[in-house]
Amino acid sequence: MIYLASTSPRRKALLKQYGIPFQTLQPVYEESNKSSLSPSRLVRTHALEKGRSCAASVRNGVILSADTIVYLNGKVIGKPKNQKDAFKILRSLQGRWHKVYTGVALIHIQAGTIKRKSLFSEVTQVKLKRMSETDMKQYFQKINPLDKAGAYAIQSKKPNIVETIKGSLTNAIGLPMEAVLKQYGRLKI
């Protein structure tokens, strides 16, 4: 059994889309993006700690946890604090290339004990279209930017604000499914 240590509707939708049965757990972990860690190490650390925070509630199975950040010019961009912050973030990203990092932890638990862990991260490059203030207001009426790293939903097609993407789309959504399936297979459960 896979236990998803996440409340993200996007991660749930991806697992359903791929036909993977799972149960949801709510991690108890406070992320901090104020770190000297590299972006890939930071997301792996957050993913692992989210998974570990749920380990006591699993007797047998695999905990799947993840963390996603946006990275621009040496700075980590997480979820906006409020609507004003969302506008500021989207202004900084539009018309420019940035990176979306997702860290993933797969924690195999047997008889209530952690047996194996697999940690990895993926990176996707994204360039957003240029937008006017009116475009941004209309966009935020269609999506909630406050629960999304970078204040945008790459999977939203109405309107599509992405100009170009290089790499895994599912990674930019919040869970690199191709890599997850590969690593899950390597756990040999």
pLDDT in tens, 109-165: 999 999 999 999 999 999 999 999 999 999 999 989 998 889 999 987 777 899 999
pLDDT score for 188 = 63
pLDDT in tens, 18-34: 999 999 999 998 877 77
- Residues contacting residue 102 through CB under 8 Å, at least 6 positions apart: 43, 66, 67, 68, 121, 122, 171, 172, 174, 175, 176
Percent of the chain residues past pLDDT 90, beyond the cut: 83
pLDDT score for 155 = 86
pLDDT at 3 over 80: yes
**pLDDT range class, residue 42, cuts 50, 70, 90:** very high
* Average pLDDT, integer, range 2-23: 95
The domain that holds 75 is classified in CATH as: 3.90.950.10
**Contact, 101 vs 71, CB < 8 A?**
yes
In the chain, which ranges are continuous DSSP H helix? 9-17, 39-52, 83-93, 133-142, 169-173, 177-186
pLDDT at 189 over 70: no
pLDDT score for 27 = 95
Which letter does DSSP use for residue 155 in this model? T
Catalytic status, residue 135: no
* Residue 95 belongs to domain spanning: 2-186
Percent of the chain residues past pLDDT 70, beyond the cut: 98
* Average pLDDT, integer, range 82-111: 96
Domains of the chain: total: 1
Mean pLDDT, the chain, integer? 93
pLDDT score for 157 = 75
